[in-house]
Amino acid sequence: MIFDVVARDYASAARRGLLRTPHGTVETPAFIPCATAGSVKGLVHSQLADLGTSIILCNTFHLMLRPGVDIIDRQGRLHRFIGWDQTLLTDSGGFQLFSMSELAKVSEKGIAFSSPWDGRRMFITPEDVIDMQVKIGADLIVSLDYCTPYPATRRETEKQVDLTAGWEKRCIDAFRNRTDSQDQSLAGVVQGGIYPDLRRESLTRVLDMKFDTLAIGGLSVGEPRDAKLEVLDSLAPLYPPALPRHLLGVGTPEDIIEGVRRGIDLFDCVLPTRNARNGMLFTTKGKVRIKNARYADDPAPPDPDCRCYTCRNFSRSYLRHLFLSQEISSSTLNTIHNLYFYLDMMAEIRESITLSNFEGFARRFLAGLEVEAVSL
105 contacts: CB under 8 Å, gap ≥ 6? 111, 112, 113
Annotation marks residue 233 as catalytic = no
d(CA 213, CA 142) in angstroms, rounded, equals 9
Closer Cβ to a copy of itself, 23 or 262, answer by number? 23
Residues 71-90, interacting with a copy of itself (CB under 8 A): 71, 74-76, 81-83
From 139, 268, 298, 303, the catalytic residue: 268
Phi, psi angle pair for 216, to nearest 5°: -110, 115
Using rule CB under 8 A, residue 34 touches a copy of itself: no
Q: Does 251 bind a copy of itself (CB under 8 A)?
A: no
**For the residues of 137-195, what is the DSSP string, one character each?**
T-SEEE-------SS--HHHHHHHHHHHHHHHHHHHHHHHT-SS-TT-EEEEEE--TT-
Q: Which of 9, 91, 298, 303 is catalytic?
A: 91
Which among 108-116, 285-293, 296-304, 341-349 is the span making contact with a copy of itself, rule CB under 8 A? 296-304
173 is catalytic: no
Residue 216 is a binding residue for a copy of itself (CB under 8 A): no
Q: Does 309 engage in binding with a copy of itself (CB under 8 A)?
A: yes
**Long-range CB pairs of 66-75, under 8 A, 24+ apart, other chains included:** 66/37, 66/117, 69/132, 69/135, 69/136, 70/135, 72/135, 72/136, 72/137, 73/135, 73/136, 73/137
Select from 43, 132, 264, 339 the one that contacts a copy of itself (CB under 8 A): 43
Report how many residues bind a copy of itself under the rule CB under 8 A: 42
Of 41 and 169, nearer to a copy of itself (C-beta) is 41
Phi and psi angles of residue 112, each rounded to the nearest 5 degrees, phi first: -95, 135
Binding site for a copy of itself (CB under 8 A): 37-46, 62, 66-67, 71, 74-76, 81-83, 296-297, 299, 309, 313-315, 317-318, 320-322, 324-325, 327-333, 336
- List, by residue number, the catalytic residues: 91, 268
